[in-house]
Structure 1
Amino acid sequence: MRISELSEETGVAVATIKYYLREGLLHEGERTSTTQARYDTSHVARLRLIRALIGVGGLSVATARDVLDRLAEPPESLHELLDTAHPPLRPQPDEEVDTTSAAEVLHELGWELRTAHSEPVRRLAAALEGLDSAGFPISREDVLNYARRMHQLAEAEVAGTPQDPGEALRYVVLGTILVEPLLLALRRLAHIELSGRLLP
């Protein structure tokens, strides 16, 4: 198909498609002349993925490119993949954040983290520090209950991870980017439903 047909098929403007081509998010089509190219279903699928990452996922073009690069080169070990595949969706937490409270929570949960990456622990520590500094009281038991519920969700997700490294990487990365907004939306809707029913 020509670029105009690709645009019609995907609902993405021709100018936007050309921009994605220039930025390296979308692979080149098969050249039929110096100014024309032919595109196929792989371009349709890739464009839909790009639009999901940038639209629903809210990623910048640079972060979307990083995600797509990760999808192209999956690690061999599934544990390594799960450990490293999550893209940096938010600014990195401060390297100097005190992780004592986070370590205490993890110890109480009995979670043994087999990872060389400190970023998830620092992110938990920064979240706990933010709650504390804002004077928003969440008890340790509430934090542990949140963690246990997340662990149940993670059990189902890890069990559903495909064995093929390429498919597994896609599952983990897109599951992070596209499922987290779903979880937050469902949590907010549950709050609205319950508050309307239970609160005066």
Structure 2
Amino acid sequence: MAAITTTERARSAAWVDRLVEKSGLTATEVAEKVGTSPSRLSAYRSGDTIPSAVMVMRMMDIAGRVLPSNGTQWASADETTEAVERDYKDHPSDALRWLLQGRDQLLSAPRSQARLLWDERVSELTDDRWETLMRVITAVTFRKKGLEPPAWAQPQRVSPDWTPLTRISIRPSDPIDPDLAQFGIQIRAKDLVTL
């Protein structure tokens, strides 16, 4: 097996550091939640030690589960907007993950909670394409719940057609999500599936 390079150590450290920051927790709290010591987490963050795949998955789970800060277990439209806004420029796959996490929480929330957390929205995304993506996903999710979408979730077509995940090439044979495609957003249906 090849030795771990300095570049790989630096990338690993930066990635772990980013996950800890995204969690919104202190390093000690993250260490406790993932089942390691604060000193071991510090070694991951410095690149001195490379975490196992299981440890990385635990950190990803923590970073992904802290979205709601409204006292419920479900994210609001504004919390989802804030998370997407923070990441869409430099980390579009993370921004999409935040948006899909908001969608999944909206799907699992009771209808009354969905209305309470998603009917009103204070801010919009600064990028019109990402804003359209959020509006379409919100409208489709509300309809799946048997609810009328919020007034703010009225999307407009993106022009020219846009692919948020530019690192993923879409082949002509790839099924594109039809709800998004009618608004000019090209995302493979499988990229919208979460576990």
TM-score range, shorter chain: under 0.3
Question: More relative contact order in 1 or in 2 (CA 8 Å, sep 6+)?
Answer: 1
Relative to the length of structure 1, the TM-score reads 0.25
Structure with bigger helix share is: 1
